[in-house]
Structure 1
Amino acid sequence: MSNLDSWRTMTAAQQPDWPDRSELEKVVAELGGLPPLVFAGECDQLKDQLAAVARGEAFVLQGGDCAETFAGATADNVRNKLKTLLQMAIVLTYAAKVPVVKIGRVAGQFAKPRSKGTEVRDGVELPAYRGDMVNGFEFTPESRRPDPWRLLRAYHSSAVTLNLARAFTKGGYADLRQVHAWNQDFVAESPAGRRYEQLAREIDQALAFMRACGADPEEFHTVEFYSSHEALILDYDRALTRVDSRTGLPYDVSAHMVWIGERTRQLDGAHVEFFSRIRNPIGVKLGPTTSPEEALALVDKLNPDNEAGRLTFITRMGASKIRQHLPTLVEKVTASGAKVAWICDPMHGNTWEAPSGHKTRRLDDVLDEVAGFFEVHRALGTHPGGIHIEFTGDDVTECVGGGQEIVEGDLALRYETACDPRLNRGQSLDLAFRVAELYRSV
């Protein structure tokens, strides 16, 4: 497994400045002896489903928290996020008539890249909050000190989250006969909820017809749900890499899918090198400065065998830039014959600061970037393969707009994110209905 450590000779961007390397080594050694969080065979199943996306036969719904917190690993929080994802998937599957691959930004999304290494408040400068995996959110020297033992806590919080997610998706909660139950707390006061309820009634009628015909497929009672995170802290993901007993190949068993962020996709950097060695399905975020040559070089480095389902490009351009910058990327990569899936992250390119000081996003900008993504693929005859969003199942007020409109003055009411603003449940369903409309028109 020596080649799995080749990244250590390269520059690793966005890594914590651990005060005590000997403590880090103890944690890494302990992580290395712990059971896998996911299994290589599950990663291969997801790769097969992403291959269908690359062929234009399915659609990815990938979403969850901007930054998970240890305190958020509760049954209520996991259920609420899963409920929102299931409702969005139902809208896309039924209204857009397309199979949906469901991937959560869960069970590992505990670290965040930062544009600045420090934060200043009232003249006091401390290390930036880099996610619960690294340090604490509270603005004190003790809290902001990077602590490698948090890596171990991230593992255990991920295990709890995955256990809950598996219980909900396999234990009856994800049964299609639950489509109304997912909405009971939501329909009365929400335009998106009322629209969803109408769709749920249609699904009920379709299910009743199928049961009358003697059909009751197992697929109606459970769902396949996969985990993913940005593999930012390389010591953590390397410690959770195992050689699969079936194939003798290495997999990062911290998640089914991992991705490289816009800030860490340097071709000669440690992240790209590490990802080239593992066999999971992987993603790469591409911003508006990405050149076709860079994208093609990433294909050559990360998917040299041109394996469908192996590599997903997650574009994050911004609503004002996607129509200008995406076409050449898609056109050149497609012309090369590269088998990649394209999905749209309409969140990260549309962040701005309100007069109140809150980072926020306009739902209209998110919808416009998704529309631009579909327009580009429609014009080129390629497949708009999915969306990658930050959302929560809670009734937060972090993004403005939506059917149950949030205005700038509302932001402080329930602004709860540990990092970037997330869509709430109603806004997420607004987005799902819009995506379904766009998909049907392709």
Structure 2
Amino acid sequence: MRHVIDSWRSRPAQQQPDWPDPMGVRAVGVELAGLPPLVAPSECDRLRQQLAAVARGEAFLLQGGDCAETFATLNAAQIRDKVRVLLAMAVVLTYGASVPVVKVGRIAGQYAKPRTSNSELVSISDGFGELPSYRGDAVNDLARTVAGRRPDPQRMLRAYYAAALTLNLVRSFSRGGLADLRQAHAWNADFVQRSPAGRRYESLVTEIDRALAFMRACGVDLDAEGSTHGVDLFASHEALLLEYESALTRVDEVSGRPYDLSAHMLWVGDRTRQLEGAHVDLVSQVANPVGLKLGPSARPEDAAALVERLDPDGVPGRVTVIARLGAGAVLDRLPPIVEKVNATGHEVVWVCDPMHGNTMESSTGLKTRHFDDVVAEVTGFFAVHRGLGTVPGGVHVELTGEDVTECLGGADRILDA
């Protein structure tokens, strides 16, 4: 049953497309509302229970995936490779920290992007022209043409079907042979294998192989042990397009609670986290686990008020606070935020996003970040929690299974040239 959440319409809504066809938007919303949900309420509840364990320090959260998904990359090979990277990272974390890793992908729904400006100057044949900003494939096209940049509500339907296909593959990979722990050697991407990090990974997996062989020698039936050949891999995305999220909200027939069944977990971005804004209003009314991104402008009192708004009943695992403060600010800005939120009594998951707070522009005009800054923010995040005696719950990262160069420095010492 669809649950109509319309109160957000009377509140200020940031980062929404300037749809040229309001009637078309409404028609797409009606069509989306009649389509099957993409996830099940019971799956959302299972994730929330696992996140509650993270909040208590009994598990660790790994959340990662593309900055933005595109329709062009909707193919089995690329989805498989992203799943392999998540599995490889998770096995390293599990082995190193000796705790379960909760695996959540930025996947099957990350088709919309917040933008700094509604328009951008682009080069054309006789100089420069102004076009609407690209807001993700769920809104418009990356192509620098007037037609391509016109917001098209039909793209929300394409995003729904793309998410459905992606989730189908993710479920297949995470429950099929790919996720079998005995296949861990295959999770190491070909282009990584020859690097020092790849060799360290292979060494670690060899130790895991020995442990599995020991278990078999002791009479443990690994084929009957589900945890060795299948994993929970949950889907998440930023709850940005309000028409899309609202249309995919349903009431669970068992509990009677509304869920946004476009994903297991949703987050509110740093640009849309206004306490009285439309995004917080919508997300506060669904029972999914929700994330809250906090950038350098976030004040401790803002964070505390938002947590109380999103989690009025104090449900452990309901709210994940994702700090994206930057390497130069994390040591100063994070402690008062943690202290203020903890004073409310809410049991939240604290997560570090070391990617978005460290973005800079390269000499060629491309957005990038330095690997040393990424590491420094993660290190600072853990240092803050160690000093306060609180639980550093996880990391939220951009990742890909492709052989691409997006960060400076790192193991290959990539330079800005």
Return the TM-score normalized by structure 2: 0.96
Residue in 2 aligned with 1:182? 187
Residue in 2 aligned with 1:243? 251
Superimposed CA distance per residue, residues 94-148 of structure 1 (whole angstroms, 9 cap, x where no aligned partner): 0121210000000000001001110002320000000000000011000000000
Tell me, what secondary structure is at the counterpart of 1:246?
coil
CA drift of 1:187 comes to: 5.3
Pair 1:220-2:228 in alignment: yes
CA drift of 1:357 comes to: 1.0
Residue in 1 aligned with 2:352? 344
Pair 1:400-2:401 in alignment: no
Pair 1:296-2:330 in alignment: no
Aligned with residue 311 of structure 1, among 319, 323, 341: 319
Pair 1:323-2:331 in alignment: yes
Q: Which has the higher mean CA deviation after the structures are superposed, 373-382 or 328-337?
A: 328-337
Is residue 3–residue 277 contact of structure 1 (8 Å, CA) maintained in 2? no
Residue in 2 aligned with 1:434? none
Is residue 11–residue 270 contact of structure 1 (8 Å, CA) maintained in 2? yes
Pair 1:132-2:133 in alignment: no
Is residue 177–residue 229 contact of structure 2 (8 Å, CA) maintained in 1? yes
CA drift of 1:186 comes to: 4.0
Amino acid at match of 1:68: E
Residue in 2 aligned with 1:54? 55
Superimposed CA distance per residue, residues 230-283 of structure 1 (whole angstroms, 9 cap, x where no aligned partner): 010000010000011111110000000000000000001000000111000000
Amino acid at match of 1:118: S
Residue in 2 aligned with 1:110? 111
CA drift of 1:404 comes to: 2.4
Tell me, what secondary structure is at the counterpart of 2:115?
coil
Q: Percent identity?
A: 60
Pair 1:172-2:173 in alignment: no
CA 108–184 in structure 1, closer or farther in 2 if over 3 Å, else same: closer
Amino acid at match of 2:244: Y
Is residue 12–residue 269 contact of structure 1 (8 Å, CA) maintained in 2? yes
Superimposed CA distance per residue, residues 11-31 of structure 1 (whole angstroms, 9 cap, x where no aligned partner): 110000000011111111110
Residue in 2 aligned with 1:253? 261
Q: Distance in 1 between matches of 2:319 and 2:187?
A: 33
Counterparts of 1:362-441 in structure 2, within 5 Å, are 362-409=370-417
Pair 1:66-2:67 in alignment: yes
Q: Distance in 1 between matches of 2:365 and 2:189?
A: 35
Superimposed CA distance per residue, residues 290-335 of structure 1 (whole angstroms, 9 cap, x where no aligned partner): 1121111112211011100111100000000000000011112112
Q: Distance in 2 between matches of 1:332 and 1:274?
A: 24
Q: Distance in 1 between matches of 2:242 and 2:226?
A: 39
Q: Distance in 2 between matches of 1:28 and 1:406?
A: 45
Pair 1:23-2:28 in alignment: no
CA 153–210 in structure 1, closer or farther in 2 if over 3 Å, else same: same
Residue in 1 aligned with 2:211? 206
CA 248–276 in structure 1, closer or farther in 2 if over 3 Å, else same: same
Q: Distance in 1 between matches of 2:192 and 2:82?
A: 17
Amino acid at match of 1:273: D
Q: Distance in 1 between matches of 2:263 and 2:250?
A: 12
Q: Distance in 1 between matches of 2:149 and 2:189?
A: 41
Is residue 242–residue 279 contact of structure 2 (8 Å, CA) maintained in 1? yes
Q: Which has the higher mean CA deviation after the structures are superposed, 63-72 or 330-339?
A: 330-339
Residue in 1 aligned with 2:12? 11
Superimposed CA distance per residue, residues 4-55 of structure 1 (whole angstroms, 9 cap, x where no aligned partner): 2111110110000000011111111110010110000000000000001111
Amino acid at match of 1:221: H
CA drift of 1:184 comes to: 6.6
* TM-align CA RMSD: 1.1
Pair 1:88-2:96 in alignment: no
CA drift of 1:336 comes to: 2.4
Is residue 189–residue 401 contact of structure 2 (8 Å, CA) maintained in 1? no
CA drift of 1:70 comes to: 0.6
CA drift of 1:191 comes to: 1.4
CA 320–9 in structure 1, closer or farther in 2 if over 3 Å, else same: same
Amino acid at match of 1:306: G
Q: Which has the higher mean CA deviation after the structures are superposed, 83-92 or 333-342?
A: 333-342
CA drift of 1:214 comes to: 1.7
Superimposed CA distance per residue, residues 49-102 of structure 1 (whole angstroms, 9 cap, x where no aligned partner): 000111111110000000000111110110111111110001000012121000
Q: Distance in 2 between matches of 1:310 and 1:321?
A: 26
Tell me, what secondary structure is at the counterpart of 1:15?
coil
Q: Distance in 2 between matches of 1:404 and 1:98?
A: 30
Pair 1:274-2:282 in alignment: yes
Residue in 2 aligned with 1:158? 163
Q: Distance in 1 between matches of 2:55 and 2:194?
A: 39
Is residue 120–residue 126 contact of structure 1 (8 Å, CA) maintained in 2? yes
CA drift of 1:403 comes to: 1.2
Q: Distance in 2 between matches of 1:358 and 1:274?
A: 34
Tell me, what secondary structure is at the counterpart of 1:397?
coil
Q: Distance in 1 between matches of 2:183 and 2:206?
A: 11
Is residue 252–residue 259 contact of structure 2 (8 Å, CA) maintained in 1? yes
CA drift of 1:3 comes to: 6.7
Is residue 85–residue 189 contact of structure 2 (8 Å, CA) maintained in 1? no
Q: Distance in 2 between matches of 1:226 and 1:237?
A: 17
- Unmatched 5+ stretches in structure 1: 410-442
